[in-house]
Amino acid sequence: MRDFSKLTLGFLATTAKEFAQGFADALNLSHEESVQMRRRARRSAQRFSEQVFKRQWCTRVNWLLKQEGIRRKERIYRTANAED
């Protein structure tokens, strides 16, 4: 996944003054700058898509199941050795 932390994806404002400044900055972007910003924002938003969520969910659940299988085998081994 691409690191978007150093790239501008849009403008953030919490006050009316910041909003006005961000709006002015957006209007002053060149066509190429605004196209690139929109593309970066769309790519960034894909991190939250259903497809990415599903893939990450399956990866994490499979890892957990694998860990549980390992632990189960360890418990069985300890139980068998404790009975000896």
One domain, residues 21 and 42:
yes
- Give the distance, in angstroms, between the CA of residue 77 and the centroid of all CA atoms in the same chain: 39
One domain, residues 43 and 70:
no
Number of domains in the chain: 2
pLDDT at res. 83 = 67
One domain, residues 24 and 41:
yes
The whole-number average pLDDT for the span 48-69 is 94
Range of the domain at 13: 1-47
One domain, residues 36 and 53:
no
Of 2 and 63, which is predicted with more confidence? 63
74 SS3 class? helix
One domain, residues 36 and 73:
no
One domain, residues 4 and 27:
yes
Q: How confident is the model at residue 1 (pLDDT cuts 50, 70, 90)?
A: very low
One domain, residues 1 and 37:
yes
Give the tens place of pLDDT for each residue, 4-58. 556 788 888 999 999 999 999 999 999 999 999 999 999 999 989 999 999 999 9
